Amino acid sequence: MITVKLMGGLGNQMFQYALGRQLATLRQTNLCLDLSSYVDLVPGDTPRHYEMDIFNIQASLDGSYHPYRGQNSTKPFGKQLGAALAALGGKKRQPLVREHGFPFQSQVLDAPDGSYLIGYWHTEKYFKDIRNQLVKDFSIKKPPNKANRDMAAKIAKVPAVSLHVRRGDYITNANANRFHGLAPMDYYNAAVKLMAEKVKDPHFFVFSDDPKWTQENIKIGKHTTYVTHNDANTGYEDMRLMTGCRHHIIANSSFSWWGAWLNPRADKVVIAPERWFADPDTDTRDIYAEGWLKL
């Protein structure tokens, strides 16, 4: 069995699942998702919960006590791990595979059956060769409601471009703001201009966790629709609508990353911010999928 520790919101969970699914496929074994991080909340972090129950994923869930519970991709092992092993009677722990930075680590794909993975794994290089399987796994169980069906029909009739603005905890949470930062308005202005050069008569569909702000601040022109009817509980519907668009302007966000990546069109134009994190020295070269444009 391959076990993956889930951390973060929906987009992060999808990256973690995708690598786990790849390894489980390679090793011809089962995949287990460790949900303990949603019990052991870290002070200062944005509260999260498991969100992939809306998908047709293939994995078992485990929220029980685990030898690596309380560990994440950045904190070193400490006394808590030793106490956990002692409580388990000295049971041998699983081989640990820990992410070290954001660049692709090819050796991760050599992890043996029985491995436990801790990381975010933000690159398609871990799983792009099982793309067709992941598209099935990340299909949504529930059919869309009328509002989303109507919006999907509108998207299908025009040269639709999804434009995603991530705010939320990037604004309200000090830790998230320091680490992620915000894609600036200069980026969106340049991206809209570039998209208009590459796509004839584009129609922009604006998605955000702060729709009021986008309506007041994102002014593109006559061919603009603000998607405002979904909320935090149905955010996955925004992802489904994004995937239905022909082209994409994404934020520095794993959520809109997946909205663009799951779009099956070979001729799609995807524009992403070159500065993905607040720290400009963070190595993010592998975050961008093949063929995506950086601004």
Average pLDDT of each block of 10 consecutive residues along the chain (295 residues)?
94 97 98 88 68 96 61 40 35 78 95 96 97 98 97 98 78 43 81 96 95 90 92 93 98 95 97 86 92 97
DSSP 202-228: -EEEEEES-HHHHHHH----SSEEE--
Query: What is the longest distance spanned by two Cα atoms in the chain?
Result: 67
> In the numeric block, which tokens belong to residue 144?
């869309």
What pLDDT does 77 receive?
A: 31
> In the numeric block, which tokens belong to residue 118?
């801790």
> In the numeric block, which tokens belong to residue 17?
């699942």
34 burial type by CB count under 10 A (0-12 exposed, 13-18 middle, 19+ buried): buried
pTM more than 0.85? yes
What pLDDT does 129 receive?
A: 96
What pLDDT does 38 receive?
A: 85
What pLDDT does 223 receive?
A: 93
